[in-house]
Structure 1
Amino acid sequence: MNVFLISWKNLKANPTALALNLLLVAFGTGMLAMLLLGVKQVGERLRDNAAGVDLVVGAKGSPLQLILSSIYFIDFPTGNISENEARLLAANPMVKKAVPLALGDNYAGFRIVGTDTGYVSLRGLELATGHFWTKAFEVVIGAEVARAQGLKAGDRIYGSHGLSSDEDVHQDHPYTITGVLKRKGNVADNLVLTGLESIWEMHGAEDKREITSMLLQYRSRMAMVAMPSMINRSTTMQAASPAKESARLFALIGVGVDAIRWFAIALMLLAGVSVFVSLYNSLRERVYDLAVMRVMGASREVIFAMILLEGALLTTFGSLAGIVLGHGALHWIGYWQDSPQARLDALVFLPEEAWLFGAGLLIGVVAALLPAIQAYRNDISETMSKV
C-alpha cells in the first residue's frame, strides 16, 4: 500500500480546497521569504557600503539625504560645497583620510562619480582589465555596468546630465573606458569612476571648483566628538554620520517590515486553520473508505500517518511554491527599480529559508493532527453497520 500516493490522490479529489490551501501557504511563505531576503541584503549593504567612512561632509540640508547620495548613491545630493573649504577641512589634524566626490551625471542610470585614488583605496577596488584613469574623460566602470551594457576597456560612452535621466546627453565630451573593476558586491559595481577634472571640465567649472561631498576617516576617538559639531557650527557645510543615519533609516524601514511580517504570519496561521477544516471535512466524507482500508489490512497507524501526510504535503508544496514566489517577487521589484544601486539580488538563497520550509511543514502536521487522531479512533464495525 503506497501511503504517499493515496494521500496525494485524496488531496486532488477536492481541487478547490487544494488550490486555496496552497495559495494561502504560498502567499504567507512568499512574503516571509521576500522580507527575509530584503532585510538581510539591505542590512548587509548598509554596513558594507558605509565601512571605512566615519563622517560625510556636504551642503547643508537633510543628513539622511547626504548619506544616501554620497554613500549609497540612491538619492539626490543636498547641493555642492567649495573644494577649497573642503580641502581645508581635510587638512585638519583630526582627519586621517579625506575622499572627495563630485556627482551630477549618469550613464544609462549608472552614476558617474568624480573622485581621486583615495576612493579606490577606501573601497579596496581592483581591476579585472585595463588601468585606472590618468587624465580627464577617462573612466573606470564597475563590473555590473560592464555586464549590463556589454562594455569593455577601450569603448567610449556618453554621460547624461542628471542622476537618472538619459535625455540631456553630453555629446561633445565622450568618456573613454580605461578599465573594468572586479566585482566587489557593493555599490562600486554600479558606478562609473573618473577624476574630478572630468566633472569640472564637463560642466565648465574649472575656475569655481566645487564638489558634492567629502568622505572622512577620523584619526582619533576625540575627532568623533569634536568634528561633527565643529563643522555644523563653524562652517557653511554639514556633517552626517553614516552609522547614525543608517540606523535611523533601518528603524524607519523596520516599522513597515514588522507590519508585513505579522500579516504574513497571520496568513500562515490562517492557512493552518484552512488545512484543518479541509482535512476534517474530508475525513467525514471518507469515513467509509477508511473503514474499508482497515478491513483490507491497513492498520490504525497507517491511517493516522496517511492523514498527517496529507497535511504535511499540502503545506510542504505550498511552502516550496512560496519560497519561489518570494524570490520571483524580489526579482520583479528589482527589475523595475530605476536605481541600479538599490536593486536586490533574487538569486541569493539564505540558510534561514530552511526555517520557513520547516515552519510550513510543522503547520501542516499540527493542522492534520486532530483529524488524524479521529481517524485513528474510528470504530470499523460501527462504521460498516451504518452502510
Structure 2
Amino acid sequence: MDTTQPAPAAAAGDSQLPFDATLLFKALQYQLLVAVDYCYALQPGQCLWLEVFGDVTVPGVSQTEVKLYTDKLTDSHTNLWNTLKNWLHENFDRASYQSLILLTTQEFGAQTLLKGWNEKSPSERLEVLETIFAAAQAAKKAAKPTSKDYDSDAAKPSKAQSLQQYVMATERRADLMDVLERMRITTGADSLELRLEKFVTSNLKIIRPSKCQRFIDDLLGFMSSTELVQKGWKVTYEAFTNKLTELTKLHMKHPTTFPPVDVAVLKKSIDIEQIKPKLFARKIVEIGGEHQLKRAALHRLVAETTISDLYADGELFKTDVDRYLNNHLERHLYGRESAMLDCSGIYCTTQLKTQSMKFYLDQHATDVEQFCGLESTMTEFRNGIYHMLADDVSGDKDEEFHWRLWNE
C-alpha cells in the first residue's frame, strides 16, 4: 500500500504543514476497500490476510500489492521494481499463489515497455525487464562523471537502479521466473472516490440511502478493528459474512429490527436551558420532575430523529406515526384517569406531586409496543413519544396530555 497523490490545497488563511498524514489514511482506506472486494469473492472456508504476506492476500489464490498513485507507471517506477523485490524475498512462498497482482490507480506511461504485460509469456516478460535494465545501466554509464568533477554522491545508484540490480541479479533468475509466471499488472484501477461510488451502486441497493455511509464506515471499521489486527489481521469468510448480515439487518430498506440510534451523540446536543420553556418540559417541572428533564429531552430527540430518518428514506408514512401516537395517547389518558381515582380525597400539593411522579415513572417503565412492527423497539423511543404528545397543543381539553393527577 502506498500513495504519492498531491496533498490537498490548504484552506484559505491556513498555511500548509509538512506533516499532513491525510494521504496515508486515504491509502489505508483504499487498501481496505480493495480487500472488501476480495472478501465478497471468498468461498466458505477461505480467508483474507492484510499486510501479513503483502497488502491483500487470499492464501492459495492471490497476493495483491495495492498502489494509490496519480503519476504514470513507467519502466523505472519503483512501484514495479519494489513489488518484484518483495515477491523475490526468500521467505515469500511464490509457488503457493495462482496470481501475483500489482494493482495500481496509475496508467501506463506513454513510452513504457510494460504495455501488454498480461498478454505476454513469462519469457517475454523477462525480455522486457532485461531491456529496461540494460537501458538503465547504459544511461548510468553514460552519465558517469569525469575524474575532474567526480561526485561520490552522484555516483551512487538511485533507488530504482538499486531495486533493478537486486531483481535482475543472476542468482535470483529462477525465482524471478516463478514470479513472472504468475504476475499480472492492473493499471487504471478506480480511484478511492469512484471505488466508493461503485461499492454503493453494486452492493448497497438494499440499504436505506441515508445509511449507506454508515454501512461503509462500519464495514471498514470492522476490517481494521483492533481485534482483527491483534489476531494477525485475518478476515475469514464466516466473520465477513456475519458482519455483512449484521449491518444489512440494521440498515436495510424495509427493516424488521428497530434501527440503531447513536444515543451518546444526541445526548451531547442537549441544552437544558433551551428545553425548559418547552411545553413538555413545563409539564414535567409541574410535578416536581426537574431532575428528569435531560433524560426526557434525550428520549424525545431519539423519537424525533428515528422518525425523521425513516421519513427521509421513504420507510415511514404519516399515518403510521399518527396511529402509534394515537394509541399511546389513548392508553395514557385511560391510565391517568385511573391514577386520578387513586388520588381522590388527597388535597396536599406535595402528596399529589409525589403520586404524579410515581405515575410518570410507572408509565415510562411499562412494556414497549413495537413501532410499525419493528422488533426491539427502544424504550427510549417509546418514552420519547410520550414527550412528543406532551408537547402537542390539543384543541380538545379532554384530549390534552398531562402528567399531573389533578385538574386545574
TM-score (normalised: structure 1): 0.27
Q: Which has the higher strand share?
A: 1
Higher relative contact order (CA 8 A, sep 6+): 1
TM-score (normalised: structure 2): 0.26
